[in-house]
Amino acid sequence: RALTSWLYGKDPLALLAFEKPLENIKKRWRETPRFFESRIQHLLLQNTHRTTLILEPDPNLREKVFAEEEKKLQEIRSKMGPDQLEKIVKETRELHRIQQTPDPPEALATIPRLKLEDLEKTNKMIPLEQMEYRGVPLLFHDLFTNGIVYLDVGMNLHAICDQHLPLVPLFGRALLEMGTEKEDFVRLTQRISRNTGGIVARPFTSSHKSGALSVAQLFLQGKAMVPRAGELLNILRDVLLTVRFDNRERFRQMVLEEKAGLEHALIPQGHQIVNLRLRSHYSEAHWAAEQMGGITYLFFLRDLVRQVDEDWAGVLSALEAMRDALVNTRNMIMNVTVDGKNRAVVEQEINTFLHEFPERETKPEHWAVTSPPRFEGLTIPAQVNYVGKGTDLFTLGYHFHGSALVIARYLRTGWLWEQVRVLGGAYGAFCMFDRFSGILTFVSYRDPNILKTLDTFDHTAEFLKGLELPDEERVKSIIGAIGDLDAYLLPDAKGYASMIRYLCGDSEEERQQMREEVLGTSAGNFRAFADFLSEMDREGAVKVLGSPDAVTAANEAQSHGLHITRIL
């Protein structure tokens, strides 16, 4: 927000100091009661200035831009003499030399840095008290919230069948955006804005620490001032118990918005799409997440548009069946973050809230998990690629040790950064390890290469085996891993994080052990980890999201073929 004015030579704090401008507005409103109406009338309704912008999609735009660029480069090259061409060759070689030369120790020594002795040896605890109301687990976090109550209402998604999983994001939106038996969606939206700080629907999935049934929840998350807690719960009660799904045009609009949003996200968030697709091979939780937010979800949305037009009764029946299965006190959890002095007020409102919900016996549904092809090429109209490779280290015999978090960070900021980003020209590269499922993934971001990047991924184990790890690099990676564990959280995020740990079976004792293992990470841990990582070349899955030409060329040049699917 500060950059909005700062970039143009204005005061960077001007947009942060809102009290005085707000008071001026209030003063003008008191002097002229119809101040806002007059502004709307003058600036919007009677404003004769209009701009009409028409966007016409061109399926050949990428080829045209590429051809224009190629022509321009050829024209520039044709005007160069031998000396100029030789100069460019020399400068390119010099650039490669600089990129491959490590920074001198004396330059690195000038950077201020923490030491291991500066780090806390114990985890910071988030206060948690577990209770139960009418069979519903209630988690309470006594944290200073400045008079705000943060509330999460969770519903276990294992109560619905796997065919309904892709409907979950739209089901969550529909609860809040389609109206109830007493209010249309406009009035409901106004009521939410008037009485709360907002309510959102948020699916969550994760493997469980024990390796048992995956954790899968749909949360309705809301916040309000403590005196408005009752109204927040009243709204949640109304949307859960009296929502009306029968507005076909409204639901169709939501489906189209969801589809357009996901298609738009393919390029800026391509690395996340690839990462999720990779993980879906090895974990029920990640498979479910891909059903609700990945490529599978996009294909589902495209077909859902047709279903809404041709079989609305079937879609409506599915939404009602989901509500019947999910809205049940035997299937719910509640999470509250508020300071202790306001706890009694909120508890009383929650007790009233839960008395109106049905209580039925429930059992988890069996999900038939099916994986996409192990090697995939997913094509989109883009000039860059997103390359990923991953595997499940637990199935290869690895048992989690806190040092894995240090090693993953070192690979991301060291080996992958240098090979994929600096030398390869990608915008970024990631190494991500899920300590609950054991899944390790390598993913590149906006990458001009495919095969070269996959080759880097495959040589990671060899790099670790031959690594002469300087102690300062080991310490930096440990400090970075501790920084990830101790990331700053606002009160609502603390309460939510504590609930997720509870659901996933992540105890404070195990988290403390992990911290100690992180702090005690040695060079030997790096070499031991390489032994398991060496299997990735043989056992790993590969996903590439990129241009048709690049994916086809890569497919023809490697031994294992990519199953090519056009995404956009």
Q: In this structure, are residues 396 and 421 in contact, taking their beta carbons and an 8 Å threshold?
A: no
Architecture in CATH for domain 129-354? 2-Layer Sandwich (3.30)
Distance CA 326, CA 240 (A): 9
pLDDT by residue for the chain (568 residues), tens only, comes to 788 888 888 888 877 777 788 889 999 999 998 999 999 999 999 999 989 999 998 888 878 888 999 999 999 999 999 999 999 999 999 988 888 887 888 887 888 888 899 999 999 999 999 999 889 999 999 999 999 999 999 999 999 999 999 999 999 999 999 999 999 999 999 999 999 999 999 999 999 998 878 999 999 999 999 999 999 999 999 999 999 999 999 999 999 999 999 999 999 999 999 999 999 999 999 999 999 999 999 999 999 999 999 999 999 999 999 999 999 999 999 999 999 999 999 999 999 999 999 999 888 999 999 989 999 999 999 989 999 999 999 999 999 999 999 999 999 999 999 999 999 999 999 999 999 999 999 999 999 999 999 999 999 999 999 999 989 899 999 999 999 999 999 999 999 999 999 999 999 999 999 999 999 999 999 999 999 999 888 889 999 999 999 999 999 887 778 999 999 9
User: Nearest-CA neighbor of 225 among 202, 179, 194, 191?
Assistant: 194
Cα–Cα distance, 560 to 523 (Å, whole number)? 34
Contacts of residue 382, defined as CB under 8 A and 6 or more positions apart, other chains included, come to: 62, 266, 267, 270, 546, 547
Residues of the chain with CATH 3.30.830.10: 129-354, 375-566
Overall pTM > 0.85: yes
Per CATH, is 375-566 categorized as 3.30.830.10?
Answer: yes
Confirm if 157 and 218 have CB atoms less than 8 A apart. yes
Phi, then psi, of 514 in degrees rounded to 5:
-60, -45
Tally of CA atoms within 13 A in the half-sphere of 110 that contains its CB: 4
User: Computed over its alpha carbons, how large is the radius of gyration of the chain?
Assistant: 27
Are the C-beta atoms of 142 and 129 separated by less than 8 Å?
A: yes
